[in-house]
Amino acid sequence: MSIYTSIYSYIKMKQQIIHYPNLKTILLVEKILKNAETVISREELKRRLPNQIMHQTLNLILEYLEEKGLIIDSHKGILWIYNPDKKLQKAIAKGIEV
């Protein structure tokens, strides 16, 4: 399943969507969050985007990224947490939960 198909199916479940994000916007948000060195607020994220984005559209993108396990969205801000390192994945799989 491609990322676009996945996003479309996620968005389809939502109701009352005024504006749907396009793939370019989603990739821009991902890039900014990946390159951010610390927690970033929604307003700071909007400032770093080259184009204006509707608040509802940004919220939809952030909900999608959080559901996929790529970010954490808290009251302090947004943080990119996804790490595709295979060594890390192996260590997690071998680890024992306490």
Residue in the block written with tokens 């080259």: 50
pLDDT over 80 at 87, yes or no: yes
Per residue in 23-76, pLDDT (tens digit) is 999 999 999 999 998 999 999 999 999 999 988 899 999 999 999 999 999 999
Q: Is the dihedral of CA 70, 60, 63, 43 positive or negative?
A: positive
User: What is the per-residue burial (b if ≥16 Cβ within 10 Å, else e) of 3-40?
Assistant: eeeebeeeeeeeeeeeeebeeebbebbbebbeebeeeb
Q: How many domains does the chain have?
A: 1
Q: For residues 73 and 66, is the Cβ–Cβ distance under 8 A? A: yes
pLDDT over 80 at 16, yes or no: no
* pLDDT higher at 94 or 17: 94
pLDDT over 70 at 2, yes or no: no
Q: Which domain holds residue 54?
A: 3-94
Check which CATH number belongs to the domain holding 53 and give it. Answer: 1.10.10
pLDDT over 90 at 78, yes or no: yes
